[in-house]
């Protein structure tokens, strides 16, 4: 077998679909799931941060709009 043939060699299957799903289930059992309280606290924090970001960007947008409006009023 030449070096070129070795580069194009197909990987061998070892176990097939049933072994794959068995390994998926085994890995799924290792997952540490969040508790209901952790999910609730995280959800509330995401909502608060989203609301804070919306207020921040609203204020920045308003200031920029007033600044651009003033510049256009002076120079336009």
Phi, psi of 18, deg, nearest 5 = -70, -40
Other Cβ atoms within 10 Å of 57 Cβ, number: 10
What pLDDT does 55 receive?
A: 98
Reported pTM: 0.57
The tokens describing 70, both together, are: 């003033």
**pLDDT tens, 8-67?**
666 666 778 999 999 999 999 999 999 999 999 999 999 999 999 999 999 999 999 999
Higher pLDDT, 23 or 5: 23
Spatial separation of the C-alpha atoms in residues 57 and 54, rounded to whole Å: 5
Q: Where are the domains of the chain?
A: 3-75
Spatial separation of the C-alpha atoms in residues 44 and 68, rounded to whole Å: 36
What pLDDT does 56 receive?
A: 98
């Amino acid at each position: 077998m030449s070096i070129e043939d070795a580069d194009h060699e197909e990987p061998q299957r070892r176990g097939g679909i049933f072994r794959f799903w068995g390994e998926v289930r085994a890995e799924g059992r290792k997952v540490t799931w969040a508790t209901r309280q952790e999910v609730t606290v995280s959800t509330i924090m995401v909502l608060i941060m989203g609301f804070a970001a919306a207020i921040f960007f609203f204020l920045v947008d308003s200031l920029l709009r007033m600044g651009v409006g003033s510049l256009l009023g002076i120079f336009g």
